[in-house]
A and B are shown apart, each in its own frame.
Chain A
């Protein structure tokens, strides 16, 4: 346990003379949230990075213990708010698995399409924000223009732009909006036209490339030992896409490639995410015209009771593997609930990746980890 004096000692008592300790955050514009990094520098070279967490701890796991199985799903939107839909899906899948609830095909299709839209929206926001951290402001507006189309689709169908709470155990809360298919197709069309803009503005930009290539290298072994998942691990050559390895809903019916790069540097992580957006578009294109007719939610009991035992499911969010673990005593509330969030493990690799590089490169390394702080600090 930390106490106050220990924390103070921790940050001031480091090393011999010539070392400089910089507190980056909790109110730093590039940390996109209240992340506090204690950076120990030797000149301009990073010796050590220590993340201090807890600024927005809301005790979500404990809170979920007092909510019923229907109610706790909405709280998970508040963790990784950029993949809120996929978080909700993970929780719903666990309850469906535990209670053997049959999910109608239509609901599965809708869920997957919306998950992929969420993934694109999340990557778009990341792309803009990371380019902004590196000093390029224009891409931010362009990516938000595309993202706005997705949030409009979400608003129309789910009734909210960010924390949708659209998924319920057994299906989705209400049917898709009549305009849904039309709007998604319009989005795909616009996305395909405009995706070259990012390449002109960011990917092929010499400044961007020299700021990211060879920066923040993470080897495949390290990625595994730090528990990195998602685009971060895939950029190091680790196969870890849950959609491929343990397909859920209709991911086993669609064709898509797991994007793997082997360089392990910041540029590879960037490329993985850009290519993943194209794969998401591919998935949506296969599903959007063939959404089957039928119910959008299966028959469930009014009061859900998970049988006694332990349950675990995982889904692939935009950041990596999101796992839900529930210990049930057979009642209406979970006895204990634990979320495995991708951001937390990805952050743990930061010290290893950035140590020895210059402080200016920290932005590129941290930006391409795609950290969402509420996801880390649950």
Chain B
């Protein structure tokens, strides 16, 4: 009885192992089906999903104009104080004072990529881009000013 059980145990053990080994061997002989990416070497061909949330940027058009009105909705929506909107007053040609941004300070090191600021912005002035290699040697490099120097608000955006 004992011997019979012992032999059937050994038999079951060996067959179940061989079954598993067959699967392993199959992939060993079919390297095409392996999906590992050779990351740092394939940078040139790397495709990231266009929605991937990597960093907040402010798109500018060819005239160096953006769509930000300085309304601070993004600053209020951000859960961890990543965005700070510094506003100033421009004088329009008619002599009226108009609120505009001086700087939109973005602390990349604090950002959790939650996308709440982008959703909150009423004029679609900021968006997420799929850049992800953010390592730098000095933390201060991660504090960015999103509006480009000497940029202006686009005509017709209130």
Q: Which residues of A contact B (CB under 8 A)?
A: 67, 70-72, 74-75, 138, 142, 145, 148, 152, 155-160, 163, 165, 168, 173-174, 177, 197, 200-201, 204-207
CB distance from A102 to the nearest CB of B (A): 19
Nearest Cβ distance between residue B122 and chain A, in whole angstroms?
10
A147 to B124, CA, bound (A): 34
Main secondary structure of the interface of A (DSSP, over half): helix
Closest 5 CB pairs of A and B: A71-B79, A159-B51, A74-B114, A159-B53, A156-B49
Q: In the complex, are the beta carbons of A74 and B13 less than 8 A apart?
A: no
Q: What's the least CB distance linking A367 to chain B, in Å?
A: 19
Count of chain B residues with a beta carbon within 8 Å of a chain A beta carbon: 26
Is there contact, CB below 8 Å, between A207 and B13?
yes
Q: From B17-25, B59-67, B94-102, B139-147, give the one contacting chain A.
A: B17-25
A75, A148, A155, A207: the one contacting B49 at CB < 8 Å is A155
25 contacts between A and B (CB under 8 A): A67-B79, A71-B78, A74-B116, A148-B35, A155-B52, A156-B49, A156-B51, A159-B52, A159-B113, A165-B113, A165-B114, A168-B119, A173-B115, A173-B119, A177-B51, A200-B20, A201-B19, A201-B23, A204-B19, A205-B16, A205-B17, A205-B20, A206-B12, A206-B13, A206-B17
On chain B, the residues within 8 Å of A148 by CB distance are 35
User: In the complex, which residue of chain B has the Cβ closest to the Cβ of A179?
Assistant: B49
Select A160's contact among B78, B113, B116, beta carbons within 8 Å: B113
Query: Within 8 Å CB of B114, what residues of A?
Result: 74, 165
Given A159-B51, A165-B114, A201-B23, does the pair A75, B12 have CB atoms closer than 8 Å?
Answer: no
- Name the A residues within 8 Å of B113 (CB-CB): 159-160, 163, 165
B77 CB-CB contact with A under 8 Å = yes
Mask for B100-130, Cβ within 8 A of A = 1, else 0? 0000000000001111100100000000100
Give, as a whole number of angstroms, the nearest-CB distance from A45 to chain B. Answer: 25
Q: When the two chains form their complex, are residues B35 and A165 in contact, meaning their CB atoms are under 8 A apart?
A: no
Contact partner of B35 (CB less than 8 A), chosen from A145, A173, A174, is A145
B13, A200: Cβ atoms under 8 Å? Answer: no
Query: In the complex the two chains form, is A138's CB within 8 Å of B24's CB?
Result: yes
Q: Is B158 part of the contact surface with A, judged by Cβ < 8 Å?
A: no
Interface residue B9 (Cβ < 8 Å from any Cβ of A): yes
In the complex, the answer to whether B35 meets A74 with C-beta atoms within 8 Å is no
| A-B contacts besides A70-B116, A157-B51, A163-B113, 7 pairs, CB < 8 Å | A71-B77, A74-B116, A152-B49, A160-B52, A200-B19, A201-B20, A207-B13
Inside 8 A of A168's CB, which chain B residues have their CB? 119
- The answer on a CB contact under 8 Å between B13 and A159 is no
Residues of A within 8 A of B35 (CB): 145, 148
A263 to B35, CA, bound (A): 37
Residues from chain A with a CB closer than 8 A to the CB of B19 are 200-201, 204
Tell me the complex Cα distance, A173–B22, Å. 45
Cβ-closest chain B residue relative to A166 = B115
Q: State the CA gap A358–B119 with chains docked (Å).
A: 54
Residue in contact with A159 in the complex, picked from B9, B16, B116, B128, CB distance below 8 Å: B128
Q: A residues within 8 A CB of B112?
A: 74, 163
Known: A145-B35, A159-B128. A138 touches B20 (CB 8 A): yes
Closest to A138 in B: B24
